[in-house]
Structure 1
């Protein structure tokens, strides 16, 4: 199955990840991916100058709003609350398929087959979680 509209997606909620997004974009270009990188960004924390820089780096930019769950949640690291906002990727219904990549990833080989691999109707695919940092709070099977 070939999807006409597919894209790599990343989220930018803090300016200190801007260089990471640029590296991700360049690495996708270097492996000659035929799909664009769409950067979801939060306008209240990402200045327009950064958005312009990302556009000049070849990214498609889309503003989005934070998702903040109700109630108090204890997080291990201070960037975890931003992770909820990654769920906004499912709002990009102009694409037939999206693949979410973290802003600190470096693509070393072309992965375009992820855009065309067969999935059952309504399914999503995800990589297996790992615990390379040996964090004791993570589930044992990670």
Structure 2
């Protein structure tokens, strides 16, 4: 395999590709580097033959990245996308959160909306046939290599509050086919005059791929389902657990008590100690109490 095609906006990969497919994540600061440690361990434990690629920005110190090398990943430095000053101004954290506030959960202080668009650099990884992107605030609980057989663009629905959410995708997990042509087309559509993407890359990707293919909700199980829709939760079927909104490494966040079992699981993957078989964990209390 050839190494990734170099681009003037970003750095060279630390090593050449070793597989035809790759799991890809994005690290933009020390918090997400910590999250990536748990994610990468979880992927490696599935014994996948696919590469693991970590895209990282200048906001990450080398010391925060060093622990990731334990997991035989490709570290690829990148930069923010080459977007107009007007676009960047519209999508600053303050503007995004004022125009499209998060009302269902709390985004942590280290969340930066402009960083999210760096996910699109996945399409520059043309040394791979397929890539599965996974947010760094997630865990892979069983082998999910079958996702490499899914077409572009595949994503799970953004279901965390009600079944009405099935029409919207969540970009925490998606399947894509790298292509420089697609990447250039994305940049043009992304930075169209006056364009505003209230949920950043998530809103944009749904617009760019209006006929997106649906992955099972179990391939991107959002943590709020634990208490909002417990009837949908079955540890035996979950492939990816996604800690949307509050993060499991935050101390005493507003949902910590409600999500205590999920936080404990994440900490086990972070340390590598006493990692349970997820299929043996207790599901949340069901809402249906009717007797049979």
- Write 1 or 2 for the structure with the bigger share of helix: 2
State whether structure 2 residue 28 is matched by structure 1 residue 13: yes
Q: Any residues of structure 2 matched to 1:39-50 within 5 Å, and which?
A: 39-42=54-57, 44-50=58-64
Among residues 58, 81, 92, which one is paired with 1:67 in the alignment?
A: 81
Q: Any residues of structure 2 matched to 1:84-103 within 5 Å, and which?
A: 84-103=117-136
Q: Deviations over 1:23-56 (max 9, x none)?
A: 11110111222212100001x2112223332122
Q: Deviations over 1:38-85 (max 9, x none)?
A: 00001x211222333212232211011112643223323542221111
Among residues 41, 46, 52, which one is paired with 1:31 in the alignment?
A: 46
Cα shift at 1:140: 9.1
State whether structure 2 residue 66 is matched by structure 1 residue 52: yes
**TM-score normalized with structure 2 length:** 0.40
Unaligned stretches of 5+ in structure 2?
1-18, 98-106, 169-292
Counterpart in the other structure of 2:142: 109
- Say if 1:8 and 1:101, in contact at 8 Å, map to a contact too: yes
Please give the alpha-carbon distance, in whole angstroms, between the structure 1 residues aligned to 2:141 and 2:31.
Answer: 22
Bigger relative contact order, structure 1 or 2 (CA pairs below 8 A, ≥6 apart): 1
**TM-score normalized with structure 1 length:** 0.79
Please report the RMSD computed on the Cα atoms of aligned residues, expressed in angstroms: 2.2
Give 1 or 2 for the bigger CA radius of gyration.
2
